[in-house]
Amino acid sequence: MDSLFIVANLKSNKTYAEAKLWLDTFDRIDKNLLEQKKVIICPSFVLLQTFKTFISQNNLRVSLGAQTVSSVDEGAHTGEVNAKQIKDFADYVIIGHSEERKLLNESDPLLQEKVNLSLKYGLTPIYCVQNQDTFIPQGVTIVAYEPIFAIGSGTPDTPYNAGNVAKAIKTKGIPTVLYGGSITFTNVKEFTKESSLSGVLVGGASLEAQEFIKIIKNA
């Protein structure tokens, strides 16, 4: 069986000092767990270097992801962080998260551009969909099903429904489907035991490293 994906989306949280504390705690994890599961941590852009250095100095078998990417390539685009720049630090990128869709009103063609540029520079998109009918750009191989009602609400979707949505998404040729929305260390197993789900995307419960370790352990 392919290893389970456990993705931490730290969102717009953690100062530099807080990130160092998070990493020091996370480093106490049983390293065997990191051999068995595919752990990906997605901090803010400004913390990617900190995470990358710590992970390499401590030989942690963990991958990094960004939380978004520019829809335009390198050049005169003030404020944008492009895929080529991100690739220096990360192998994955979250695209189409509902929080960003809401703030920035991202359109499907723009999301397709983000996917295209990520793939051009060797980043693997983790593409968020809000339901099974959400548009999925060409080239996407990992989708995270994240129903809006479940994000940060403490009320996850049922594992049964998440499993069914994952099955529907897989019929579109997507090999890897994750679930995200109010995952905790107490409910994670119910989702990861659904055969159509390949893992989870964790927001709030990843903010405490100790809690995130428990999620990895229980998944």
Judged by the rule CB under 6 A, the positions of this chain that interact with ligand PGA are: 9, 146, 151-152, 180-183, 201-205
Q: For residues 150 and 129, is the Cβ–Cβ distance under 8 A?
A: no
Whether 77 is catalytic is: no
Q: For residues 19 and 55, is the Cβ–Cβ distance under 8 A?
A: no
Selecting among 99, 113, 146, 194, the annotated active-site residue is: 146
Shortest CB 99 distance to ligand PGA, Å: 7
Shortest CB 202 distance to ligand PGA, Å: 5
Q: Which is nearer to ligand PGA, 26 or 212 (CB)?
A: 212
Shortest CB 114 distance to ligand PGA, Å: 17
Shortest CB 130 distance to ligand PGA, Å: 11
Q: For residues 64 and 91, is the Cβ–Cβ distance under 8 A?
A: yes
Residues 6+ apart with CB under 8 A from 126: 7, 40, 65, 92, 93, 94, 95, 142, 143, 144, 178, 201
Distance CA 184, CA 176 (A): 21
Token pair listed for 51: 């995470």
Q: Which is nearer to ligand PGA, 122 or 152 (CB)?
A: 152
Secondary structure of residue 20 in the 3-state scheme:
helix
Q: Which is nearer to ligand PGA, 37 or 97 (CB)?
A: 97
Whether 97 is catalytic is: yes
Q: Which is nearer to ligand PGA, 115 or 200 (CB)?
A: 200
The set of catalytic residues is 97, 146
